[in-house]
């Protein structure tokens, strides 16, 4: 018996959602069926909405502190019960967003012109942040093993890049957006070792951590760090509970220097060191009470991916290939088989299909032979999206 209804339709038009109302910049038009940016067409759990309402009823939303047990407690509870990881208050820090934290670490641990490694394909905001801070993108292309249908780090190539003195930071993504790769403990140990041997700072962005199926397969970099290791883990509830517009995130580290530097910047430079009172109410309810919701949501998303995979096998096998990802709600779908020109495909998806999926080139997928399809929606939307894709490929052939 399932407790939660993920099939429910919720109107998002008119909420100024980027997913619906913000397609013009990237796709040249509005009114598309959107499956691109990483938020969900699934409501935040009722328990969280009730907690936000209760906080609203207080009626005062003045400056709010996060340095207290109502912030630390739920985070420690979640990590212990979900991932069997013990955290200490000392190692948990609030920050306005995951990307704020990544940007700040870039500014703190690298110099202008330094190289920052990304494993490509890469989540598109990382290259933007590197360029936006006048650092250099250094690519370590992941290797796709068609036999096991998985992406792997090119360990030799990655080591060589780290050995270059001008390379000072690696931004790791676990689970990996857009491929859905879940990194094993051995892979994480290898990466951490190479970075440390070469004085390359390591950020691990784990914002998709709650979408690992099964959840026991998730290994956080936090379980590998020792006192003062040059490693910082950043995460939040934006993806897990669809809270991206409530400013919040938190980072985990045992590096006292970076903690001090970031806290100094949040206080002195930007004055963003107090928390959103609504976000704190949401975190408390989510992390104390929403484990079962998260488990059921993952079952639902797995069902969506199975549907997508079966649909492709039945109707689009000549053009598309797709491996169900072990994590995230993002499908990384290849149209290499179709032999069609990438720009033509992306244009046709918009103009014929009326659908917004993220083009591979955003993720430094240089051949641009993939698109990223967001599967965190009620099933009827997934069915509609796939019909749009089918219509597109039928008409351009």
Interacting residues with ligand PLP (CB under 6 A): 38, 97-99, 123, 173, 177, 205, 207, 236, 238, 244, 249
Compute the least distance from the CB of residue 238 to ligand PLP, in Å.
5
CB 253 within 8 A of CB 91: yes
Compute the least distance from the CB of residue 175 to ligand PLP, in Å.
9
Compute the least distance from the CB of residue 109 to ligand PLP, in Å.
18
C-beta of 96 vs 348, nearer to ligand PLP: 96
Compute the least distance from the CB of residue 49 to ligand PLP, in Å.
20
DSSP 115: E
C-beta of 168 vs 249, nearer to ligand PLP: 249
> Which residue in 92, 49, 55, 17 sits closest to 252, CA to CA?
92
CB 260 within 8 A of CB 125: no
Burial 95-113 (b: 16+ CB within 10 A, else e): bbbbbbbbbbbbbbbbeee
C-beta of 376 vs 396, nearer to ligand PLP: 376
CB 52 within 8 A of CB 257: no
Q: What does the angle CA 283 – CA 49 – CA 244 come to, to the nearest 5 degrees? A: 55
- The dihedrals phi and psi of 213, each to the nearest 5 degrees, come to -120, 115
C-beta of 99 vs 350, nearer to ligand PLP: 99
Rounded distance between C-alpha atoms, residue 9 and residue 27, angstroms = 24
> Which residue in 391, 300, 301 sits closest to 351, CA to CA?
391
C-beta of 238 vs 385, nearer to ligand PLP: 238
Compute the least distance from the CB of residue 18 to ligand PLP, in Å.
11
C-beta of 172 vs 381, nearer to ligand PLP: 172
Compute the least distance from the CB of residue 176 to ligand PLP, in Å.
8
The owner of tokens 């045992």 is 254
C-beta of 123 vs 241, nearer to ligand PLP: 123
CB 354 within 8 A of CB 33: yes
Classify burial at 230, counting beta carbons within 10 Å of its beta carbon; exposed 0-12, middle 13-18, buried 19 or more. buried
C-beta of 243 vs 350, nearer to ligand PLP: 243
Compute the least distance from the CB of residue 193 to ligand PLP, in Å.
23
CB 172 within 8 A of CB 220: no
C-beta of 97 vs 190, nearer to ligand PLP: 97
> Which residue in 316, 313, 360, 314 sits closest to 341, CA to CA?
360
The neighbouring-strand residues paired with 331 are 373
Rounded distance between C-alpha atoms, residue 300 and residue 98, angstroms = 26
Compute the least distance from the CB of residue 94 to ligand PLP, in Å.
12
Compute the least distance from the CB of residue 179 to ligand PLP, in Å.
11
């Amino acid at each position: 018996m399932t407790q939660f209804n993920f099939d429910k339709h919720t109107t998002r038009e008119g909420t100024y959602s980027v997913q619906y109302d913000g397609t013009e910049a990237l796709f040249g038009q509005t009114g598309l069926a959107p499956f691109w940016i990483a938020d969900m067409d699934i409501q935040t759990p009722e328990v969280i909405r009730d907690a936000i309402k209760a906080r609203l009823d207080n009626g005062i939303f003045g400056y709010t502190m996060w340095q207290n047990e109502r912030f630390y407690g739920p985070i420690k509870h979640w990590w212990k019960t979900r991932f069997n990881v013990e955290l200490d208050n000392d190692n948990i820090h609030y920050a306005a967003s995951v990307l704020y934290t990544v940007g700040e670490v870039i500014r703190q641990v690298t110099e202008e012109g330094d190289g920052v490694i990304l494993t490509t394909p890469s989540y598109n905001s990382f290259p933007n942040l590197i360029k936006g801070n006048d650092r250099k993108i250094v690519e370590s292309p992941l290797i796709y093993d068609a036999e096991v249908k998985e992406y792997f780090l090119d360990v030799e190539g990655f080591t060589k890049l780290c050995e270059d003195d001008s390379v000072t930071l690696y931004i790791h993504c676990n689970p990996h957006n857009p491929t859905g790769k879940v990194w094993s403990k051995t892979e994480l140990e290898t990466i951490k070792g190479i970075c440390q041997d070469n004085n390359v700072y390591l950020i691990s962005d784990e914002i998709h951590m709650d979408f690992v199926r099964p959840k026991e397969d998730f290994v956080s970099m936090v379980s590998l760090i020792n006192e003062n290791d040059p490693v910082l883990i950043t995460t939040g509830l934006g993806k897990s509970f669809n809270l991206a517009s409530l400013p919040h995130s938190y980072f985990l580290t045992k590096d006292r220097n970076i903690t001090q530097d970031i806290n100094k910047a949040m206080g002195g430079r930007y004055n963003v060191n107090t928390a959103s009172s609504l976000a704190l109410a949401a975190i408390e309810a989510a992390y104390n009470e929403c484990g079962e919701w998260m488990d059921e949501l993952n079952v639902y998303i797995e069902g969506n991916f199975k549907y997508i995979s079966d649909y492709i096998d039945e109707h689009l096998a000549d053009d598309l290939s797709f491996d169900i990802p072990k994590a995230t709600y993002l499908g990384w779908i290849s149209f290499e088989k179709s032999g069609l020109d990438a720009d033509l495909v992306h244009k046709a998806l918009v103009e014929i299909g009326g659908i917004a999926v993220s083009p591979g080139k955003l993720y430094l997928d240089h051949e641009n032979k993939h698109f990223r399809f967001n599967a965190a929606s009620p099933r009827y939307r997934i069915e509609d999206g796939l019909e749009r894709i089918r219509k597109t490929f039928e008409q351009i052939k």
